[in-house]
Structure 1
Amino acid sequence: MKFKPGDKVSVLDDSFNGTVRAYQKGKVSIETTDGFELLFDEAELVIVNNSNEMRSFFAGKSVGAVLREKETPKKRSFVKEKKSKKDTGTIMEIDLHIEKLVPNKKGMNNYDILTIQTDTAQRQLDFAIKNRIPKVVFIHGVGEGILKSELDFLLGRYDGITFGDADYQKYGLGATEVYIKQNPNR
């Protein structure tokens, strides 16, 4: 599929749209509706301004139905895992993706987003320590590693905790696991 500057596109595996700025050798530069310029492979995008092309592409589904399908998360099948002795007890999972923390991130800059994410992590960790929850998993995603670095810095300021990468099979590369050492004298 060839893209032309000015084409309206939607990112297949994410929830944002944009306008094509440039296309060269399978790479498409788009400007998002929030004003960010991002680079994608052409296979990651679909044109949304040509409804005839969209209709043939999705074989009779309306564009609205396709976009709704894209927005609603698919149900995942779960396979019961054997738990190790280390995993017994309460585990608290906190997803730090900004879409999970605020209803609308429109108008927020990267600093605002990072501040909300780190404040949430600190509040949740304080809650876990206060309520003697032994294990916390922060899901931060892979990205450029800025949130992970900030999280590592934040966690390094706490006494009585250890942290490291979370279970790769369950979370992939984008999560940090925190163990809170329980002090019986509290």
Structure 2
Amino acid sequence: MSNFQIGDKVSVLDDAIDGIVIAVNSNQITIETEDGFPMTYFVNELVKNNISNDLKGFISRDTISQVKAEKQEEKKRSFTKEKKSSRDVFTLEVDLHIEKLVPSKKGLNNYDILTIQLDTAKRQMEFAIRNRIPKLVLIHGVGEGVLKTELEFLLKRYENISTQEANYQKYGQGATEVYFLQKKV
């Protein structure tokens, strides 16, 4: 049963067509377009236009008085500066899932996908080192462990880094944290 009635103003979802319902037949609705043409659509292709110039139906008096009262109240602003702990340092997160790296994986075989993921990880490692970013999280997912194994092999090539499993609550088992041990300048 549809919730459309004769006389309702409606719009077609996938077209720029508006009209007025002139017939309701089960799940099919016939409308007369603004140009005077009758057209039939299914119920799920139409949406009602509830245009009303009567704002009382949308806003209650209580809401208006609450808003006025809130506007008149003077709110004190707090200027206390939050202290950041050493754990709150900037973290570069890199999601290595192939869907995040290329618009479409169509036509890519497993070797191509792994190569793209490892090249991205290497570029982000170099970027983090160049810009003295203290922490990098490589999100590799769980899967069969091929990408994780290759990342471990890649990370062994770098000096002055330490790695560990990333925060389980935030990333699950599918991420590795890389800390860059930087010398003071």
TM-score with structure 1 setting the length: 0.54
Shift of 1:86: 4.2
Q: What's the CA shift string for 1:101-145, capped at 9, x where partnerless?
A: 000100100000000000000000100011000000000000000
Gaps of 5+ in 1: 1-59, 63-82
Structure 1 residue aligned with 2:150: 150
**2-side partners of 1:181 and 1:114: how far apart?**
27
What is the root-mean-square deviation of aligned Cα atoms in Å? 2.0
Shift of 1:89: 1.3
Structure 2 residue aligned with 1:95: 95
Letter in 1 for 2:132: R
> Structure 2 vs 1, CA of residues 160 and 107 (structure 1 numbering), >3 Å: closer, same or farther?
same
SS at match of 2:155: helix
> Structure 2 vs 1, CA of residues 109 and 181 (structure 1 numbering), >3 Å: closer, same or farther?
same
Letter in 2 for 1:152: E
Structure 1 residue aligned with 2:164: 164
**1-side partners of 2:118 and 2:159: how far apart?**
18
Shift of 1:61: 7.4
Structure 2 residue aligned with 1:183: 183
Shift of 1:96: 0.1
Structure 1 residue aligned with 2:173: 173
Identity %: 63
2:127 maps to 1:112: no
Letter in 2 for 1:106: K
* Matched ranges for 1:31-180 at <5 A: 85-180=85-180
Q: What's the CA shift string for 1:58-86, capped at 9, x where partnerless?
A: xx979xxxxxxxxxxxxxxxxxxxx9944
TM-score with structure 2 setting the length: 0.54
Letter in 1 for 2:184: P
Gaps of 5+ in 2: 1-42, 46-82
> Structure 2 vs 1, CA of residues 61 and 122 (structure 1 numbering), >3 Å: closer, same or farther?
farther
**2-side partners of 1:97 and 1:125: how far apart?**
16
> Structure 2 vs 1, CA of residues 116 and 87 (structure 1 numbering), >3 Å: closer, same or farther?
same
**2-side partners of 1:182 and 1:88: how far apart?**
17
After TM superposition, the runs of 4+ consecutive aligned structure 1 residues lying more than 3 A away are: 83-86
**2-side partners of 1:176 and 1:116: how far apart?**
18
